[in-house]
Structure 1
Amino acid sequence: MTRDDLIALLREQTPACGPARDALVAGADFVVWDGLVPASRHAGVFRGRMRHSSKRGHTINGLAESVAILRRAREAPLRIGSIDALDRSSWFTIFLNSTATEVVACCGGRRPTREPAETPKCAAPPGR
């Protein structure tokens, strides 16, 4: 799959598709894996991610919509892919049909920022 192919496949399946497409146009790295997994399995995994991210106060664009789409797809075999912005500020997970000719769903967005850890203050060892 080429970059242009994937850009063309990302339409408005979920709110994350536009930003994922923009990241690809800007040169983001991407990969689409060959393996096929039933949509229902992806739905279960990403439903768990939705609960986890909610507890942490993180918003993942298109996640709820993607989970709903995956649940409706039931046992349909899907490929999964990833898009990672060049500056690593955002990421996206894409779900494609078995022939990688249609994006079924997409979720992702800006990576959560972490507060820098406070540097521990260490005392000099005795005798120095």
Structure 2
Amino acid sequence: MGGRHDRERLERLLVDNDEASVAALAALRCGGSHVVWDGATASGALALVYGRRLRHTRSRGIETKNLSGAVELLGRHQQPVRLAQIRAADGSWTLMLFLTEDGGRLIACTGIRRTHV
């Protein structure tokens, strides 16, 4: 999983006051695990994947945080995106962070409640 440097960098990036960023920051500070993956993915491809995930979670009644906003932001971004993930220490939430390719800026953040903890 991610090291202390990644944890501190993620904490600095999670300054937005949207529901998902607040939850991600709280999960990090409460001992949640985290990983920042190497490489980048086309933002349009991620918008499609997370658009399907949005429809799936809505059809199943799964709670999300800022998923529709993240899909919209990814669709507009037009640049490669680096992914990071934070899992709440109690396993209740998985939070995805979409970063600029260099990892220097947060594009969007979303959370999906884990139905099987």
Q: Which aligned pairs between 1:8-19 and structure 2 lie closer than 5 A?
A: 8-12=12-16, 14-19=18-23
Give the superposition deviation at 1:46.
0.1
- For structure 1, list consecutive stretches of 5 or more residues without a partner in the other structure: 115-128
Q: Whose helix proportion is higher, 1 or 2?
A: 2
Can you list the C-alpha shifts for 1:89-122, whole angstroms capped at 9, x where unaligned?
A: 21101100010011110101432358xxxxxxxx
Aligned to 1:89, which of 72, 89, 92?
A: 92
CA distance in 2, matches of 1:16, 1:60: 8
The answer as to 2:9 corresponding to 1:5 is yes
Can you list the C-alpha shifts for 1:17-67, whole angstroms capped at 9, x where unaligned?
A: 001001101111100101211111100000000001111011210100000
Give the superposition deviation at 1:86.
1.5
TM-score between both structures, scaled by the size of structure 1: 0.82
Partner of 2:68: 64
TM-score between both structures, scaled by the size of structure 2: 0.89
Partner of 1:99: 102
Count of paired positions = 113
CA RMSD of aligned residues (A): 1.6
